[in-house]
Structure 1
Amino acid sequence: MSTEPHISRPRRRVRTVIVAAAGALVLFAAGVLVGGHPRSTGINDLPPGVRSILQGPTGDPVASEVIGLLEDGYYKAVDVQKLERASVDALIAGLDDRYTSYLDPAEYAALQRHTEGIFFGVGMTVQARGKFTVVTGVYPDTPAQRAGVRTNDRIIAVDGRSMIGSASDVVAAAIRGEEGTRVSVRFRRPGAGDRDVTLTRARIKVPLVSSRIRTVDGSRVGYVRLAEFDKGAASELRQAVKTLDSRKIDALVFDLRGDPGGLVSEAIGVVGIFTPEGSPVVTIQGLHRDRQTLETDSARATSTPMVVLVDRGSASASEIVSGALRDNDRALVVGTRTFGKALVQSTRELRNGGALRYTTARYLTPDGVDVSTNGLVPDVTVADDPNTKGTDEALDRALREAAQLPR
């Protein structure tokens, strides 16, 4: 296997997993949406740009040498694991990329549990915004919801450890834990100051896909929501769309609001539900790989006119899908500007059982649009008003727009 994670056509299996990352994590799950189990690797197997920060000019691991000297000669006992973690964190900080991070064995094991369908946490989604990690969604009937956590709350500290400037996956890993255990989180709400909340971790059950039918201006409009691009999302969504079509809908609203993203392979599969086989989905480009356009490789399941509904919480894979459907003249995009973090990341398992998540490329929509600066700008801009209880202005507008689409 090559030293670089290889992105190929979706039909080709690779063990090094590529994820579209926006620093967007699901705290009840595993943080970064990683599918499969990347192979173990040594420092020489890492890409040159990453390897160089972990080695000295002679190629010897300087950090390991220093730790060894301290372990042998320091005047009191040395916590080697603590030193190793601090040294790696400091080295990675030199990249000035908060989306590249080291996960220790316990943190990485928690991430892997996500792909096995085991979800423990507090029931909220988060994303990185500047130096803060911000809550972007709170699921109903979860510890976070019962504690009064709200969208846009900033996470300042976890169990007394400052999280300002930390990568979102590090924040997520600190909040995750075994069912029934407690975690103390300090939140900062704009205009209200800091608040310490103790949450008891629980098993969180959130369906990937939900759907229903609404009648709007005499038209039957199907509605389908995707919570995240987890393993199996495309297959589950395809079945839901087929079921809606079988009930004779006239149009469809595809809701990606608050969807933090996930697996690129699932994003490609989702686009394939709505577009012909061979349709362009995303272009990947980076220093250590040739520019490559990924295409759908599955038969289209529906040609029903559709609207994609997005907001500031729609990130990474959500932006890939929204951009691809619009650029392929397949959907009208409604809502507010998306998150805007067009990075592709790889996760590599290390010999100690931990893992390195590092940015390997950026992505462009099929028309060559880079959403990393301003996010994806919708065709029709409308925002939900959080002060109107029981009314979803953005969804209502999306349903009306869908009902008016040519058939």
Structure 2
Amino acid sequence: MKSFYAVLRCVALSALLVAMTACTKDEKPKNFNPTPPPQTANEEINMFVDAYLQAYYLWNEEYQTLTLNYDQSYDNFLTNTLMSMKTNTFDKKMRNGYWQLYSYIQKLSSAGYNSVSSRGVGHGISKEMYYGFGFMKFVATEYQAEDGMAYALVVEGVYPDTPAAEAGIHRGTTILKVNGQSLTRSNIQNYANTLIYPTNNKTIELTLNDENSEPVQITSKAIYENPVLCSKVIEQGGKKIGYLAYSGFEAAYDDDVLSAFESFKAAGVNDMILDLRMNGGGHVITAKMISTCIGGNACQGQVFQYYRYNDARMETPEATATQTNMTYDSSKKLFYEKFAYDEAYFGVDLKPYALDLPRVYVIVSNNTASSSEAVIGSLKGVGVDVILIGSTTNGKNVGMEPTSFTTSTGQFYLCPITFQTYNAMGDSVDPNGIAPNYPVDDWGSNGYSDFGEAADPCIAQALTLITGEAPASLSRKAVCGLNLRMDQSINLPNACGPKGMLMLPREMPLNK
């Protein structure tokens, strides 16, 4: 999501206060209580957050009745306030054993640099480079060593063309030591943080797969976090099958995605495996682009998604249509947008990339959320047979209209839930998640296989369904000889793509 920051529109707090004080009584939101000018840095931040939530939060009717404490840290203000509500059940959910919010706020850093504009797609969202090794995510594991239980990090994903990838590290690689130090339950989180968020030009030594193997050294550098992790054509059983592993709907990389579909089209693929198991969401426009390329003719003239905003915005459809660039359907009392098949997608005609597939095989997990689920739902809505392989998805049927703002202490990124989505048939994603047609554990016999390998249990299942025969080769590139066991109680950092179903930022005046 870091590349997304480049296009966020900054809103100065001083302008906000002018807008708030300029409102007439009839123009203010219901139960809007004016507040005095901020006196502290916390108040300065939280007053902006409050005004934005009053205007745009999907459950703003209850929100506007709350008594607020502005003198908290900005993250506590958002969490404590929204957690205290009762109606926001699609935002405040029990996940992984504890209550969590989809809405979030964070302070932006200036780590990104060297933006590169898209080549063909003309939405203006640019790629940015960041220092890193290229690691996306790990899973913590334990195993029996000679002197007792020991821990290891198993790589879940690596960005292409990065130091880790160039060193031959990939999904399934096992890290046993960092700089000669064995991993333990007490240090494994710190090492995972160092590997995903290193300082500039940091060199580390890793012992991989075997405690007696020769260590490898890698040095962090400025990298592009390209979400196109693997794109290939698999030929088996007389079929040509397009495989795309995609970690985030980041519009800055739309050209890279279209290049993958161009190669699928040129190869004459008959079927497609879309691997979204590490994809937590991202830009809605990119979800629409990918869905259009898969469905092709089935998307012609059809609704991609319907949208519901808070009651106040739904009561003023003309203003909301202008604000969101959506069309209002008065019969359904919902806003909508169509697939990008009939009109150019930001200057690009998608018809030459469209595969016109009657079905698609999608690999999913609990990490598959938001825009990933929108692709699944939108294709189902126009009659494409979507076959899910893996485990139940996250169940996020709501999305965000992000904004950024600047205060005396820095720039902040606010991403609250502001809309719910439905497909062309009027179905919304089940908040409990979408169950797979074929439940498959992708851990395999003793770890992960790399993206695109037939040895991966989920890919093997898809290939069997497509061709009617099991893959001929089930060998893995790297098998750790240790008997690894996942320890899911250890929470490790996750750098794989944006989170949420994100609309492009728009100028949203806060005076009502």
Question: TM-score per shorter chain, which class?
Answer: 0.5 to 0.7
Q: How do 1:56-75 residues align onto structure 2 when only pairs under 5 Å count?
A: 57-61=33-37, 64=40
Q: How do 1:7-406 residues align onto structure 2 when only pairs under 5 Å count?
A: 30=2, 33-34=4-5, 36-42=7-13, 43-44=16-17, 57-61=33-37, 64=40, 86-93=72-79, 94-96=81-83, 98-106=101-109, 115-121=126-132, 123-125=134-136, 137-139=156-158, 141=164, 147=175, 176=197, 178-180=199-201, 202-204=221-223, 207-209=226-228, 210-273=230-293, 274-275=295-296, 276-287=299-310, 288-290=312-314, 291-298=334-341, 299-300=350-351, 301-312=354-365, 313-335=367-389, 336-352=391-407, 353-355=410-412, 356-371=414-429, 373-388=431-446, 390=449, 391-403=455-467
Aligned residues: 317
Asked if 1 retains the 8 angstrom alpha-carbon contact of 2:357 and 2:384, the reply is no
TM-score (norm 1): 0.63
CA-to-aligned-CA distance 1:102-129 (integer Å, 9 cap, x gap): 333427x6599794321334545469xx
For residue 59 of structure 1, report the CA deviation from its aligned partner.
2.1
CA distance in structure 2 between the partners assigned to 1:351 and 1:259 by the alignment: 29
Asked if 2 retains the 8 angstrom alpha-carbon contact of 1:306 and 1:402, the reply is no
Letter of the 1:307 partner, please give it.
V
For residue 176 of structure 1, report the CA deviation from its aligned partner.
4.2
CA-to-aligned-CA distance 1:197-225 (integer Å, 9 cap, x gap): xx985544554333222233232222222
Look up the SS of the partner of 2:355 in the other structure. Answer: coil
For residue 321 of structure 1, report the CA deviation from its aligned partner.
0.7
Extract unaligned runs of 5+ from structure 2: 45-69, 84-91, 93-100, 116-124, 139-153, 178-184, 205-217, 315-333, 342-349, 450-454, 469-512
CA distance in structure 2 between the partners assigned to 1:250 and 1:294 by the alignment: 28
Asked if 1 retains the 8 angstrom alpha-carbon contact of 2:308 and 2:420, the reply is yes
CA-to-aligned-CA distance 1:257-283 (integer Å, 9 cap, x gap): 212221111111111213334332222
Decide whether aligned partners of structure 1 residues 243 and 89 sit closer, same or farther in structure 2, where only a CA change above 3 A counts. Answer: closer
CA-to-aligned-CA distance 1:361-381 (integer Å, 9 cap, x gap): 222333333335221223333
For residue 158 of structure 1, report the CA deviation from its aligned partner.
7.6
* Higher deviation after alignment, 95-104 or 84-93: 84-93
RMSD: 4.5
Look up the SS of the partner of 1:138 in the other structure. Answer: strand
For residue 330 of structure 1, report the CA deviation from its aligned partner.
1.9
CA distance in structure 1 between the partners assigned to 2:422 and 2:187 by the alignment: 33
For residue 230 of structure 1, report the CA deviation from its aligned partner.
1.0
Letter of the 2:374 partner, please give it.
I
Letter of the 1:100 partner, please give it.
S
Asked if 2 retains the 8 angstrom alpha-carbon contact of 1:229 and 1:267, the reply is yes
For residue 318 of structure 1, report the CA deviation from its aligned partner.
1.0
For residue 243 of structure 1, report the CA deviation from its aligned partner.
2.0
Asked if 1 retains the 8 angstrom alpha-carbon contact of 2:127 and 2:253, the reply is no
Look up the SS of the partner of 1:321 in the other structure. Answer: helix
CA distance in structure 1 between the partners assigned to 2:433 and 2:37 by the alignment: 39
Letter of the 1:119 partner, please give it.
Y
Moved over 6 A (4+): 65-68, 111-114, 142-146, 154-160
Look up the SS of the partner of 1:354 in the other structure. Answer: strand
Asked if 1 retains the 8 angstrom alpha-carbon contact of 2:440 and 2:457, the reply is yes
Decide whether aligned partners of structure 1 residues 122 and 88 sit closer, same or farther in structure 2, where only a CA change above 3 A counts. Answer: same
CA distance in structure 1 between the partners assigned to 2:271 and 2:223 by the alignment: 32
Decide whether aligned partners of structure 1 residues 180 and 372 sit closer, same or farther in structure 2, where only a CA change above 3 A counts. Answer: farther
Q: Which has the larger radius of gyration?
A: 2
TM-score (norm 2): 0.51
Look up the SS of the partner of 2:251 in the other structure. Answer: coil
CA distance in structure 1 between the partners assigned to 2:377 and 2:254 by the alignment: 17
Look up the SS of the partner of 2:73 in the other structure. Answer: helix
CA distance in structure 2 between the partners assigned to 1:126 and 1:399 by the alignment: 26
Asked if 1 retains the 8 angstrom alpha-carbon contact of 2:133 and 2:220, the reply is yes
